């Protein structure tokens, strides 16, 4: 059974100095970096996703510092492909499906739990996979928003911790 770990939008705009600071962004990033290492050791495919806005300015504007994926994530992911999206669903109008050929199970983590993580995990294009959201590898603007999104997701798909996924 082939697995892929989809790491969504770990970009500068979500961290201190960025346009949309998230709850526990740095802690989540550190857990993601460690999980990418465990995923690679387990033979899981790593795929990074980044959001690029169509707006000329503001959050995630093309060419801005805020749109860049965090260096620690890039280093941990090695030569993993980067899928660029313009909407919350990482499948919509992207080449994500081409990177998932042969994959049965899709692990999802990243930013923001209530938006891009939810829309990607529940995408109709994800129906062909066993999707599991890794709860401690996601974050949102506040803890309550994060928890509400995870509770709602749990009624539709599997939600697990990194320790449950990689041991």
Sequence ranges of the domains in the chain: 3-166
Query: What is 35-65 written as a DSSP string?
Result: HHHHHHHTT-EEEEEEE-BSSSSSTTBTTSG
pLDDT range class, residue 59, cuts 50, 70, 90: very high
In angstroms, the CA 143 to CA 111 distance is: 13
| Lowest-confidence segment of 52-56, 72-76, 108-112, 141-145 by average pLDDT | 52-56
The pLDDT assigned to 13 comes to 98
Per-residue pLDDT at 60 exceeds 80? yes
The pLDDT assigned to 123 comes to 98
The pLDDT assigned to 1 comes to 75
Closest to 78 measured CA to CA, from 25, 127, 104, 39: 39
Structure confidence by residue, pLDDT tens digits, 92-136: 999 999 999 999 999 999 999 999 999 999 999 999 999 999 999
The pLDDT assigned to 150 comes to 98
In angstroms, the CA 48 to CA 43 distance is: 16
What's the maximum distance between 2 C-alpha atoms anywhere in the chain? 43
The pLDDT assigned to 136 comes to 98
Indicate the fold that domain 3-166 takes in CATH: Rossmann fold (3.40.50)
What distance lies between CA 82 and its chain's CA centroid? 11
């Amino acid at each position: 059974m082939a697995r892929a770990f989809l790491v969504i939008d770990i970009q500068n705009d979500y961290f201190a100095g960025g346009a949309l600071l998230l709850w526990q962004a740095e802690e989540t990033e550190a857990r993601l970096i460690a999980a990418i290492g465990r995923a690679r050791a387990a033979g899981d495919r790593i795929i990074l996703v980044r959001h690029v806005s169509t707006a000329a300015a503001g959050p995630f504007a093309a060419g801005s510092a805020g749109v860049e994926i965090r260096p620690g994530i890039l280093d941990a992911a090695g030569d993993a492909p980067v899928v660029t999206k313009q909407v919350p669903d990482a499948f919509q109008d992207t080449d994500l499906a081409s990177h998932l050929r042969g994959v049965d199970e899709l692990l999802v983590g990243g930013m923001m739990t209530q938006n891009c993580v939810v829309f990607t995990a529940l995408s109709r294009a994800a129906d062909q996979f066993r999707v599991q959201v890794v709860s401690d590898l996601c974050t949102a603007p506040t803890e309550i928003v994060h928890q509400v999104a995870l509770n709602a997701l749990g009624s539709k798909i599997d939600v697990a911790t990194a320790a449950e996924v990689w041991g």
